[in-house]
Structure 1
């Protein structure tokens, strides 16, 4: 039965990849709005996160934001059809690229492209890989077949996909040879190799891996964000200027700066950040669980 469900899902994604993008996006948004009406664990997680991060908003405003987020999340699931199975040309048609650095600079230093879990993060990474060599770190999924499929399709344009676990030594070696690495470090992966840094004023368990890899690999850290454009016009990937004086030598300071940058982008795109993730899963000693 699991195998049948897997192949049905693959078939559906392949079908969605050839349908007009606007149709798929509208269908995903409608499905998300419908599912928001139904009580669920994910809806509760979203509202807990929004309550913690936006205490100044009314309950009604947080529900409006939560509903808009559900629309984006379900859209992103259906839009994986074109993201995972669309052609090189289809990806380039859908994604605009704006870079504040010269991506063609042959003398550029080793670079860590630091992404964040907005709903369109995958398609931005794929667009980059159609133009430039890159190693992309990823976290394994619980379903091994789905994980293998995702890694294969995400890397089909040339990105070298690497499991996040036990990858530090290889990443450092690649950075020292001038290769670029893409990763996201804004989720709660446990207290090991993490510090508690403020995120909208709430202590959030924040990975220190970006600082350590940048220090050991002698690399600059360049943030990027991929957003969903309005009116079903696709996506826009923005590559920002490198973070100045990063790493600083203090992991807590660096984690705070990372979170502060992310907060600015969330303020701009509040419904597109991945609020369904338990961002505050781990808490400082003595603080109760929020989920």
Structure 2
């Protein structure tokens, strides 16, 4: 039964990849509205995160923001069709690029492209891999078959997919050889190699891997954000200037700076950040759980 469900889902995603993008996006938004009306643990997590990060809003404002977010999250799952199975031409057509650096520079220094978990992060990573060889870190999924599908489709334009638990030695080797590495470090992956620093004023367990990799590989850290454009016009990939004086001598300070940058970006379109994740899963000693 599980195998049948998998093949049905793949067939559906392939269908979505050939339907008009606007139609697929509207379908995803409608499905998100429908699912938001049902009680769920993810809905609870969204509300907890929003109340922690944006205190002082009214119940109606939290409700509206949470509903918009659910629409975007479910829509992003539906749009995996074009992201995983769409042609290179189709993806390039959907994504606008605004970059502060030369993405075609063959003499660029070792580069870590630092992404953040906005709902459309995948399409930004996939688009970059159509321009230049790259490596991308991923987290293993609990569903092995789905994980293999995601890994294969995300890397189908030549990106080397590297599991997050891989030895740092391999990642550093790629960076030093001139292959950019794309990663995100804004989720709670446990207290190992992490520090507690503020995220919207709330202590958040934040990875320090970006600083350590950049220091060892002498790499610049270039943040990027992919946003969903209004009126079903596709996406926009914004590549920013490299972080100045990064890494510093303090991993904690670097993690704090990264969170501050992310907060600035989230405020531009808060409904698109991945609030369904338990960002405050781990808490500093003595602080109670929030979920």
TM-score range, shorter chain: over 0.9
* Unaligned runs of at least 5 residues, structure 1: none
- Post-superposition Cα deviations, 1:12-65, rounded to whole Å, max 9, x if no partner, equal 101111111101100110111111111110000000000000002111101100
Q: Could you say which residue in structure 1 is the equivalent of 2:50?
A: 50
Separation in structure 1 between the aligned mates of residue 83 and residue 259 of structure 2, nearest angstrom: 28
| 8 A contact 2:47–2:66 mirrored in 1 | yes
Find the residue that maps to 1:287 and give its secondary structure. Answer: coil
Residue 175 of structure 1 deviates from its aligned partner by 1.0
Residue 215 of structure 1 deviates from its aligned partner by 0.3
Separation in structure 2 between the aligned mates of residue 80 and residue 167 of structure 1, nearest angstrom: 29
- Post-superposition Cα deviations, 1:251-274, rounded to whole Å, max 9, x if no partner, equal 110000000000000000100000
5 Å-filtered alignment, 1:141-152, equals 141-152=141-152
Return structure 1 stretches of 4+ with deviation > 6 angstroms.
Answer: none
Tell me, yes or no, if structure 1 residue 101 matches structure 2 residue 110: no
Q: Could you say which residue in structure 2 is the equivalent of 1:205?
A: 205
Separation in structure 2 between the aligned mates of residue 131 and residue 42 of structure 1, nearest angstrom: 35
Find the residue that maps to 1:196 and give its secondary structure. Answer: strand
5 Å-filtered alignment, 1:35-184, equals 35-184=35-184
How many residues were matched structurally? Answer: 291
Residue 166 of structure 1 deviates from its aligned partner by 2.4
Separation in structure 2 between the aligned mates of residue 228 and residue 167 of structure 1, nearest angstrom: 33
Residue 107 of structure 1 deviates from its aligned partner by 2.3
Residue 101 of structure 1 deviates from its aligned partner by 0.6
Find the residue that maps to 2:61 and give its secondary structure. Answer: helix
- Post-superposition Cα deviations, 1:199-225, rounded to whole Å, max 9, x if no partner, equal 000000000000000000110000000
Separation in structure 2 between the aligned mates of residue 27 and residue 177 of structure 1, nearest angstrom: 43
Q: Could you say which residue in structure 1 is the equivalent of 2:241?
A: 241
Provide the aligned C-alpha RMSD in A. 0.7
Residue 102 of structure 1 deviates from its aligned partner by 1.2
Residue 89 of structure 1 deviates from its aligned partner by 0.5
Residue 114 of structure 1 deviates from its aligned partner by 0.1
Separation in structure 2 between the aligned mates of residue 116 and residue 167 of structure 1, nearest angstrom: 22
Separation in structure 2 between the aligned mates of residue 126 and residue 167 of structure 1, nearest angstrom: 23
Q: Could you say which residue in structure 1 is the equivalent of 2:216?
A: 216
Separation in structure 1 between the aligned mates of residue 229 and residue 88 of structure 2, nearest angstrom: 20
Q: Could you say which residue in structure 2 is the equivalent of 1:26?
A: 26
- Post-superposition Cα deviations, 1:182-206, rounded to whole Å, max 9, x if no partner, equal 0000000000000001000000000
| 8 A contact 2:29–2:75 mirrored in 1 | yes
Separation in structure 1 between the aligned mates of residue 40 and residue 152 of structure 2, nearest angstrom: 31
Find the residue that maps to 2:267 and give its secondary structure. Answer: helix
Find the residue that maps to 1:271 and give its secondary structure. Answer: helix
Q: Could you say which residue in structure 2 is the equivalent of 1:270?
A: 270
- Post-superposition Cα deviations, 1:62-86, rounded to whole Å, max 9, x if no partner, equal 1100000000001000000010000
* Unaligned runs of at least 5 residues, structure 2: none
Find the residue that maps to 1:14 and give its secondary structure. Answer: helix
Separation in structure 2 between the aligned mates of residue 32 and residue 50 of structure 1, nearest angstrom: 18
